[in-house]
Amino acid sequence: MDWQSFNFWAVIIGSACIGAGTMWLVMQAASTHQPRDYSGIKHQAKVHTFRLATAAATWLLIVAAFYYHPEWIKWGLRTVTRAIETAADAVPYPWGDRIEITLREIGGFIWFQITLAIVALRLLLSTIAALWRRFR
C-alpha cells in the first residue's frame, strides 16, 4: 500500500470519527430526555427478547428469500465474497491469503451475510421505534 492511499484512508477514517463525535455532541445538547436506569431485570428481558426476536425473524426472512427469491441470497453471497477478496488483497502476501482462506473456506461468508441481515433488521426496527417514540 502506498502512502497516498494510506493518507486517503486515514483522512476518511479521521473525518468519520470527527463527524461521529460532533453528531454525538449535537444529539446530547438537543436531548430533552432524563437519564434512565438500565440496570433492572425488566430492561434486560426487553433487550434479550428484542435480540432473540430479530434473530428469529431474520432467519425466517432468509428461509422465505431462499424459497421465493434465491437470486437475492446469491447476490448477497457474491457481494460478501467480493468484499472478503478485496479486504484480503489489501493485506500483504502471506496474511492476505490466510485471511481469505479462513473467511471463505471455513464458512465465514455465510455467517457474515446472516449477521449483516440481523444487524440491518435491528437497525430498521430501532429506527422505527425511535421515530415512534419521538412523535408519540
| 84 in Cβ contact with 100 (< 8 Å) | yes
Strand locations in the chain (E): none
**Do 118 and 53 have their domain in common?**
yes
**Do 44 and 86 have their domain in common?**
yes
Return d(Cα 39, Cα 120) in angstroms, integer.
26
**Do 52 and 84 have their domain in common?**
yes
**Do 64 and 89 have their domain in common?**
yes
The number of helix segments (H) and strand segments (E) in the chain equals 5, 0
What is each CA distance from 84 to 40, 64, 74, in whole angstroms? Answer: 40, 26, 15
Distant-in-sequence, close-in-space partners of 121: CB < 8 Å, separation ≥ 6: 54, 57, 58, 61
Each residue's pLDDT expressed in tens, for the chain with a length of 136 residues:
555 566 667 777 877 788 777 777 777 666 666 676 777 888 888 888 988 999 999 999 989 989 998 998 888 888 888 888 888 899 888 888 888 888 877 766 678 788 888 988 988 888 888 888 777 7
**Do 18 and 55 have their domain in common?**
no
Number of domains making up the chain = 2
Predicted confidence at residue 103, as pLDDT, reads: 80
Return d(Cα 61, Cα 107) in angstroms, integer.
20
**Do 110 and 57 have their domain in common?**
yes
What is each CA distance from 70 to 46, 67, 110, 123, 132, in whole angstroms? Answer: 33, 6, 14, 24, 33
First-last CA distance in the chain: 51
Predicted confidence at residue 77, as pLDDT, reads: 82
Predicted confidence at residue 126, as pLDDT, reads: 85
Return d(Cα 76, Cα 82) in angstroms, integer.
10
